[in-house]
Structure 1
Amino acid sequence: MSGQIPVVDFSAYSLDNKNVNEVELQALTDELMHAFTTVGFVYLKNTGISSSKVYDTFDVADKFYLQPETVKEKYSRPLDKTAERHGWMALERENLSLIGQSRPNDLKECFNVMPPLSEGQTWPAEVPEFEPVMMDFFNSCHELAMRLLEIIGRGLAIKDVDSFLGKFKNVGKGGNGTNLRSLRYPPVPEVVKENQVRCGEHTDFGCLSLLFQDNPGLEVVNLEGEYVPARPIPDTTLVNIADTLQRWSADKLKSTRHRVVMPDSEEERRRVRRSLAFFCHCDSDAELRCLDGSDKYQSLLAREYINERINATYLSG
């Protein structure tokens, strides 16, 4: 356990595993479902995504973030609130704090990778390796997410797991909001705004999120409703359930609040914090009818639900 977040060995269904054992897969399913129905977060080790691959992706993202502001502005993400979009977001442009909390905008910058690119959107020409490295990482995360969704389908006793997985067929192809977000949290300035944090308290919108991080700062709400650190553990992927899947599962799966706070120690405040977050969404036209056959929530399309969630979030220009 790390605080109250379990650490689970994913070897039984690792991306490298070519000989899946049914008994081991069922044991893994039981472990993961316990985590996803209680705290909503889990650390996975032995996923098949190596630390060297994660850090290579961090390093390529850094090459973009170190470009002049005038260069980065060419790749700015549109400021509308209708959907997740490809592109860069400047420092303090976004505020993820939940409604009812008055905070300055988040002390971070980020780049959303969301294939296929819309008309007028481009990859950073100044960093030619940015596209191939980011897309390779996107594809690895996609493969891992699909394995996790298959396990969740089994764990929820969905009669037709293949049909459930078919609701994710457009990942990376359009008509689906899945995106890979690179985030850079700069060293904390000498003077910060009152109540400012690196990333405000929020839950994720989609179905499933994968997180890779290099320095502390992330905090997650535990079973007692208190924030606890979710520190980086070497060679692990931190996975959490997101809002769409909680609703779709009739609240059997738990989407948990989390945030990134300012470091306490002077040493940590001087450090850059980097993370990569893969936000896996179902297809925009997927019908969110409760997977257990209940009528706990009215059926609606995924894009309708996501738009509701986005419009309830502070996104600032």
Structure 2
Amino acid sequence: MTAHSNPLKVVDVSQLTQETADKILDGFTTQGFLFVDGHDFTQQEVDHYFELSEQFFQLPKEEKLKFAINHEDCGYTTFNQENLDPETQEKGDPKEAFNFGHFNFVTGDCDKTMLPDMFADGTENYAFIQKMTKKMFSLGTQILKLLAMGLKIDEEAGGSNWFSDRHRASGTSMTSMRMLHYPATSKMDAEMRVRAGAHTDYGSITLLFQKQGQEGLEIFDTSDKWTPVPFVKSTNEKYLEEGRAAPIVINIADQLSAWTNNVLKSTLHRVTLPTEGQDRYSIVFFFDAEDSVRMVPIPSPIVAAAATEEIDLNKDESEYMTAREYSEKRFRETYVSGH
């Protein structure tokens, strides 16, 4: 596989400082994507999550289809059931996925009715998922706090907690954890090397874990071309000695982009695989605002300056779309009948 240079900034988010916030904001207002280092995921934890993912996708198709995805975005999607780019992907995306949802981030619990026996409550696997879910929420919250600081949100309105107050641990949202499997391509289907069509994500931010040697993510960059995003290792010797996982890809999604008058960029991206490449597995955490949160104007001078028209501060809050309404609209546009 050809090695590619890294087009994304790498930001250490271990410290909640204005300097870090400014770096985060710079990356998300230009590229919309970042590599984040200084998190607290160990490589052992990430490797184990990928092992569980592979074990699930190796189950018989009949077993996986018992947990077919529901209207709450929980469950299994089979090959070609999801179509992220209907204009170019006539048959849907050649991948399969399994979503966890309905999280309580205080406990790490999710919708247990949509889990196969290997992830059932009371098992070691379920306890592991609970732990990883809480860690995902913690890192996502750290990023949201840094974004609020970077956007200089009015302290009287909530300051650094403005976004995190709308993504509470006990709140109800369409946040989901997703395991993905992209089978290897071959010469016979080389023309179908796009495994997830060009799309943007729907919620606030997305965390992506990918394995070394299984790259495939591409972003549509500022020069209007598709650019591969490689796997990168941390350059921090301390983190390496501690056994921390590699930097994690994080990107801005549509909800947060719209909420900030497009100050934060929700960038087009896709997944491709090379001919004769190996299978790709990835783990994604889609972090959404709470269902009932209204997408009201953000009290940020940077966001206000980017508005294309004057913001009506007297507009009733009920007139703004909720986070759930927005996500459900995008969800309906994405799925087609699978087989």
| TM-fit CA distance, 1:51 | 1.9
Name the CA shift for 1:135/1:316 in 2 (closer, same or farther; >3 Å).
farther
Which residue is 1:72 aligned to? Answer: 64
Aligned length: 294
Give the alignment partner of residue 263 of structure 1, picking from 270, 274, 288.
274
Measure, in 1, the Cα distance between the counterparts of 2:248 and 2:69.
27
Q: Does 1:208 align with 2:229?
A: no
Name the CA shift for 1:193/1:181 in 2 (closer, same or farther; >3 Å).
same
Q: Does 1:47 align with 2:15?
A: no
- Name the aligned partner's letter for residue 50 of structure 1: T
Measure, in 1, the Cα distance between the counterparts of 2:255 and 2:325.
11
Contact kept in structure 2, 1:91 and 1:109, CA below 8 Å:
yes
Which residue is 1:62 aligned to? Answer: 54
| TM-fit CA distance, 1:129 | 3.9
Contact kept in structure 2, 1:86 and 1:112, CA below 8 Å:
yes
Q: Does 1:142 align with 2:137?
A: yes
Contact kept in structure 2, 1:96 and 1:315, CA below 8 Å:
no
Q: Cα deviation per residue 1:230-286 (whole Å; 9 max; x = unaligned)?
A: 11113110000000000111111100000001314x3xx2x1211111000000110
**Pairwise CA RMSD:** 2.3
Name the CA shift for 1:115/1:131 in 2 (closer, same or farther; >3 Å).
farther
Which residue is 2:333 aligned to? Answer: 312
Q: Cα deviation per residue 1:82-125 (whole Å; 9 max; x = unaligned)?
A: x4x2111112221111x53343211211110113455x823211
Task: Give the match's secondary structure for 1:312.
Answer: helix
Measure, in 1, the Cα distance between the counterparts of 2:75 and 2:333.
22
Q: Does 1:87 align with 2:75?
A: yes
Contact kept in structure 2, 1:77 and 1:88, CA below 8 Å:
yes
Name the CA shift for 1:315/1:166 in 2 (closer, same or farther; >3 Å).
farther
Unaligned runs of 5+ in 1: 14-24
Measure, in 1, the Cα distance between the counterparts of 2:24 and 2:52.
32
Measure, in 2, the Cα distance between the counterparts of 1:312 and 1:92.
14
Give the alignment partner of residue 106 of structure 1, picking from 65, 77, 93.
93
| TM-fit CA distance, 1:10 | 2.3
Contact kept in structure 2, 1:176 and 1:282, CA below 8 Å:
yes
Which residue is 2:149 aligned to? Answer: 154
Contact kept in structure 1, 2:82 and 2:334, CA below 8 Å:
no
Give the alignment partner of residue 182 of structure 1, picking from 163, 166, 179.
179
Q: What pairs up with 1:285-304 in 2 under 5 angstroms?
A: 285-291=292-298, 292=300, 299-304=320-325
Task: Give the match's secondary structure for 1:316.
Answer: coil
- Name the aligned partner's letter for residue 178 of structure 2: R
Q: Output the TM-score relative to the length of structure 1.
A: 0.85
Give the alignment partner of residue 4 of structure 1, picking from 3, 7, 25.
7
Q: Does 1:282 align with 2:274?
A: no
Which residue is 1:16 aligned to? Answer: none
| TM-fit CA distance, 1:32 | 0.7
Q: Cα deviation per residue 1:10-43 (whole Å; 9 max; x = unaligned)?
A: 2325xxxxxxxxxxx1111111110011100000
Measure, in 1, the Cα distance between the counterparts of 2:171 and 2:139.
20
Name the CA shift for 1:178/1:37 in 2 (closer, same or farther; >3 Å).
same
Task: Give the match's secondary structure for 2:292.
Answer: coil
- Name the aligned partner's letter for residue 61 of structure 1: S
Which residue is 2:243 aligned to? Answer: none
Measure, in 2, the Cα distance between the counterparts of 1:183 and 1:312.
20
Greater mean deviation of Cα atoms: 39-48 or 66-75:
66-75
Q: Does 1:220 align with 2:219?
A: yes
Which residue is 1:246 aligned to? Answer: 257
| TM-fit CA distance, 1:206 | 0.2
Task: Give the match's secondary structure for 2:93.
Answer: coil
Name the CA shift for 1:263/1:251 in 2 (closer, same or farther; >3 Å).
same
| TM-fit CA distance, 1:303 | 1.6
Unaligned runs of 5+ in 2: 104-109, 234-245, 313-318
Measure, in 1, the Cα distance between the counterparts of 2:128 and 2:67.
17
Q: Cα deviation per residue 1:43-62 (whole Å; 9 max; x = unaligned)?
A: 01121112221111000111
Greater mean deviation of Cα atoms: 107-116 or 234-243:
107-116
Q: Output the TM-score relative to the length of structure 2.
A: 0.80
- Name the aligned partner's letter for residue 187 of structure 1: A
Measure, in 2, the Cα distance between the counterparts of 1:93 and 1:177.
20
Task: Report sequence identity in percent.
Answer: 29
Contact kept in structure 2, 1:202 and 1:259, CA below 8 Å:
yes
Name the CA shift for 1:41/1:137 in 2 (closer, same or farther; >3 Å).
same
Name the CA shift for 1:93/1:189 in 2 (closer, same or farther; >3 Å).
farther
